[in-house]
Amino acid sequence: MTGLPSSSPPRPPRGCFVTGTDTGVGKTVVTAALAVCLRRRGLSVGVMKPVETGCGAGLPGPSDADRLRAGAACDAPMDLLSPYRFAAPLAPLAAARQAGVVVSVDRIVQAYRRLAARYPAILVEGAGGLLVPLTDRDDVRDLIERLALPVVLVGRCALGGVNHALLTIEALRARGIPLLALVLNRQAPYRAASDEAVQLASTVELLKERNGVPVIGPLPYLDSLAVMEREGVSELSRDPGIEALADLLNRARP
């Protein structure tokens, strides 16, 4: 017995990195809905959009960082929540070069650690897909490795979704990055008198069969998301798919 007080290190937060098979697949909507769901379960949620392009004063619509902040009701300052923000609607490295800025992955990791010390749950949204370059050396996948977060992959359930999802899963496995779930998202309403239901079901089945990780969805297409995003995100947060994602996140906590 030394008589010294025992101090255990603080428990790391629940967290995940939300990436997509592409841009525009629903990463922000899914991340915001997951944040609302976790808050309903009593957790305070930190969110991050480390690099965002096509955002800034005078540009139409709220930025991803603003949409995530609204979902999570996260009051963190913007320089932690979204350290690199560029007006040019270009890929991150192109936008950074145009602005004469060199993105530092170290700075992003430091911002993440400060958020992680403050919130018991952290959700980080990537930019575009997994191999999008952020610096001359590092891409989104390198950033995920540095943050040591499990991944939630959002993909399309329309035709083409199987190949896109499997390519991204292969790229994650090549680095041994844990994949928490594949979330399939709908971005168009059902077309009446089409065989879309068969296509959707077969996409889900093939992906379940092939990838060995939980496949969530297809999440429903919600008109409310286009009309009033806050209400749409709230509605989506009650979908069984988002609830299942929140359960997985809880279980994966280190």
Ligand X SMILES: Nc1ncnc2c1ncn2[C@@H]1O[C@H](COP(=O)(O)OP(=O)(O)O)[C@@H](O)[C@H]1O
Scan residues 224-253 and list those touching ligand X (CB under 6 A).
Answer: 225-226
**Helix (H/G/I), strand (E/B), else coil: 187:** coil
Q: Measured from the CB atom, is 20 or 241 closer to Mg ion?
A: 20
Taking CB under 6 A as the binding criterion, the range among 72-80, 143-151, 222-230, 244-252 that sits at the site for ligand X is 222-230
Q: Measured from the CB atom, is 27 or 141 closer to ligand X?
A: 27
Scan residues 9-28 and list those touching Mg ion (CB under 5 A).
Answer: 27-28
Give the DSSP letter of residue 190: P
Tell whether residue 29 is a contact of ligand X (CB under 6 A).
yes
Taking CB under 6 A as the binding criterion, the range among 8-16, 27-35, 195-203, 243-251 that sits at the site for ligand X is 27-35
Q: Is 49 a catalytic residue?
A: yes
Taking CB under 5 A as the binding criterion, the range among 56-64, 92-100, 169-177, 187-195 that sits at the site for Mg ion is 56-64
Provide φ and ψ at 17, rounded to 5°.
Answer: -105, 120
Active site residue: 49, 67, 85, 186, which one?
49
Q: Measured from the CB atom, is 26 or 83 closer to ligand X?
A: 26
Tell whether residue 211 is a contact of ligand X (CB under 6 A).
no
Long-range Cβ contacts of 132-140 (<8 Å, 24+ apart): 132/91, 132/92, 132/93, 133/91, 133/92, 133/93, 134/51, 134/92, 134/93, 134/96, 134/103, 134/105, 135/93, 135/96, 135/102, 135/103, 135/104, 135/105, 136/93, 138/105, 140/19
Among 19, 21, 28, 237, binds ligand X (CB under 6 A): 28
Q: How far is the CB of 127 from ligand X (least distance, A)?
A: 9
Between the CA atoms of 242, 52, 104 and 17, what dihedral angle is there, to the nearest 10 degrees? 10
**Helix (H/G/I), strand (E/B), else coil: 118:** coil
Tell whether residue 27 is a contact of ligand X (CB under 6 A).
yes
Phi-psi region of 167 (alpha: psi -120 to 50; beta: other; left: phi over 0): alpha
Cis amide prior to 9 (ω within 30 degrees): no
Q: Are 41 and 130 in contact (CB under 8 A)?
A: no
Tell whether residue 221 is a contact of ligand X (CB under 6 A).
yes
The residue among 62, 35, 66 whose CA lies nearest residue 49 is 66
Taking CB under 6 A as the binding criterion, the range among 43-51, 87-95, 171-179, 214-222 that sits at the site for ligand X is 214-222
The residue among 138, 145, 111, 156 whose CA lies nearest residue 21 is 156
Among 64, 85, 177, 233, binds Mg ion (CB under 5 A): 64
Residue 53 contact, options ligand X, Mg ion, none, Cβ 5-8 Å cut-off depending on partner type: none
**In the complex, which residues of this chain contact ligand X (CB under 6 A)?**
20, 23-29, 185-187, 219, 221-222, 225-226
Residues recognised as catalytic: 49
**In the complex, which residues of this chain contact Mg ion (CB under 5 A)?**
27-28, 64
